[in-house]
Structure 1
Amino acid sequence: MNTPLASLGIVLATVAGMEVFAWAAHRWIMHGWGWGWHRSHHEPAGGWFEKNDLYAAVFAGVAIVLIALGTSGRWPLQWVGAGMTLYGLLYFIVHDGLVHKRWPWRWVPRSGYLKRLYQAHRLHHAVHGREGCVSFGFLWAPAPERLKQRLQQVQRQRQQRRTPGG
């Protein structure tokens, strides 16, 4: 089964799997017990690097280990590591560059998939703090209209909790 087509399939399946993993990690780790590192991503930037970038370093380390194990005879781990690396590259370009403007270009998409992704991530950051956020994916995003409705629902629930007798 060690064929170029199988290897490509593993890389692409890993990229898709990484989006599912990243969504869950963002939702329950980064906005949960891992908030200490992720908080920097939800605050004004104080320099080129932020503490949240440590997550990328950890995932890159895992990918490097998988590639090393795979190239030393443990097929297909190198292709899983390659898929993780490709996902990291896409994240680096789209999330860090397009959405957060950590790159020199200042382009805002006006239509299509990239506009949807851009809007969804901006809505994720519309909430200050880690509670009540929407859209935890990095390369896939629900429709902005659904996210806006969810944000409004969360805001109403918070207001009701703060209002005595509400």
Structure 2
Amino acid sequence: MSFWAALSLFLVTVALMEGFAYVMHRWVMHGPGWFLHESHHRARHGNWELNDLYAVIFAVPSIVLLLGGVQLGWWPGFTWIGAGIAAYGAIYFGFHDVIVHQRIPTRYLPKSAYMKRIVQAHRLHHVVETREGNVSFGFLVAPRPEALKAELKRRGRAGVRRAATGRAAPPPAAPAPAAFVED
């Protein structure tokens, strides 16, 4: 396989993984897989949470493709697809676990508009602690935070996490009453 074909397979796989991750996060993790993912929307006690099993589950296809492409004589492209999946996993780990959730302490502060946008979008995803009513399911592509805030407000802040004080989040503002006009 040529270098350019291999590189193309690798890069296309990394890009397609964002769509796969969105689908899995939106309709599996916040669907039938909530029993594992719920731990990620709660305060973590210790180094691990049940949600971490998703990293193991999603690593299996990468390992199988790498093994098949490198050791078992399968089509060489499987090596690059497996490597693309692994690269996306590494990017996800760095962004999600290190930068956003600071599971490995760093002093990194997002400075670019892109990094600020995706960090804020992910944090807005986490203000909802229930399986429904969330916004922003992507990891590397995210809507503008203003749009996400407006969507949370439109939904009446259902499921929004309580403030650190233990009080419930403030209810959405009531619509202004229609003006009374006498004829």
Same fold (TM over 0.5): yes
Once residues 21 and 157 of structure 2 are traced to their aligned partners in structure 1, the CA distance between those partners, rounded to angstroms, is: 28
Q: 1:128: how far off?
A: 1.8
Contact 1:98/1:106 (8 A) holds in 2:
no
Give SS of 2:43's match: coil
The structure with more helix, counted as a fraction of residues: 1
Name 1:153's counterpart in structure 2: 154
Alignment of 1:100 onto 2:101: yes
Larger Rg: 2
Give the TM-score of the pair, scaled to structure 2.
Answer: 0.82
Once residues 140 and 97 of structure 1 are traced to their aligned partners in structure 2, the CA distance between those partners, rounded to angstroms, is: 17
Give SS of 1:52's match: helix
Alignment of 1:61 onto 2:60: yes
Once residues 52 and 96 of structure 1 are traced to their aligned partners in structure 2, the CA distance between those partners, rounded to angstroms, is: 12
Q: 1:3: how far off?
A: 0.7
Q: 1:127: how far off?
A: 1.0
Name 2:117's counterpart in structure 1: 116
Q: Which has the higher contact order (CA 8 A, sep 6+)?
A: 1
Structure 2 unaligned segments of length 5 or more: list them: 160-170, 172-183
The residue type equivalent to 1:118 in the other structure is V
Aligned residues: 159
Alignment of 1:86 onto 2:87: yes
Name 1:132's counterpart in structure 2: 133
Taking structure 1 as reference, are residues 157 and 129 closer, same or farther at Cα in structure 2, changes over 3 Å only?
closer
Partner deviation per Cα, 1:111-136 (whole Å, 9 max, x = no partner) = 41110010000000111211100000
Partner deviation per Cα, 1:81-103 (whole Å, 9 max, x = no partner) = 00000000000001100000111
In the TM superposition, structure 1's runs of 4+ consecutive aligned residues that sit over 4 Å from their partners are 156-159
Once residues 36 and 157 of structure 1 are traced to their aligned partners in structure 2, the CA distance between those partners, rounded to angstroms, is: 20
Alignment root-mean-square deviation, CA: 1.8
Q: 1:146: how far off?
A: 0.9
The residue type equivalent to 2:142 in the other structure is A
Question: Identity percentage over the alignment?
Answer: 52
Once residues 156 and 121 of structure 2 are traced to their aligned partners in structure 1, the CA distance between those partners, rounded to angstroms, is: 17
Name 1:73's counterpart in structure 2: 73
